[in-house]
Amino acid sequence: MKQLYIKQKVFSLSGKFTVKDQQEKDVYFVEGSFMQIPKTFSIMNTTRDQVALITKKTFSMLPKFFVEVNGREVLTIKKEFSFFKARYTIDAAGIEVNGNWFDMDFQVLQHGKVVGTVSKEWFTWGDSYKVQVLNEEMETMVIALVVAIDCVKADQAAASSGATT
């Protein structure tokens, strides 16, 4: 089992942050495209090779995010039409998310077997998540999924704040 930590800076306009291990060494670097269409987040390893990419589809009626790991699209997160509460679904071959993923407290399963868990770290400055990877072969996919869900949450928050002004 491997524990990783994602800590985002509160006032970072560039969308840059790192994923660290238990010894606080950088394991992944995440860079968002600021003021660019389509909105993307690139996840790079320690040698700065891109290992995952999250892309928000532009010009769709409802928000949709594509997640690629090592050049292959592995899952899609899309908003479902709903009148009251925002609902999202995750489409992926054999990947499920159980729990409250909007509060960042969930398990990631592959074919019914838990491969990772995510929990929000409370009382921190900015968003911080603890990610436990039980199947190290799935590490990059789990990190990409957490970053993608965080992108969806940020997109939802921006849409909500824009609608109230």
The pLDDT, as a whole number, for residue 83 is 65
* CATH number assigned to the domain comprising residue 130: 2.40.160.200
Report the predicted TM-score, pTM, of the whole model to 2 decimal places: 0.82
Q: What does the block give as tokens for 30?
A: 């995440």
- The pLDDT tens digits for 46-62 are 999 999 999 988 766 67
Domain count, the chain: 1
**Rounded to an integer, what distance in angstroms lies between the CA atom of residue 151 and that of residue 142?**
14
The residue segments making up the domain with residue 12 are 2-164
Cβ contact 73:66 at 8 Å:
yes
Amino acid found at 25: K
Q: Which residue has the tokens 């799935």?
A: 138
Helix (H, G, I), strand (E, B) or coil at 154: helix
More confident position, 37 or 86: 37
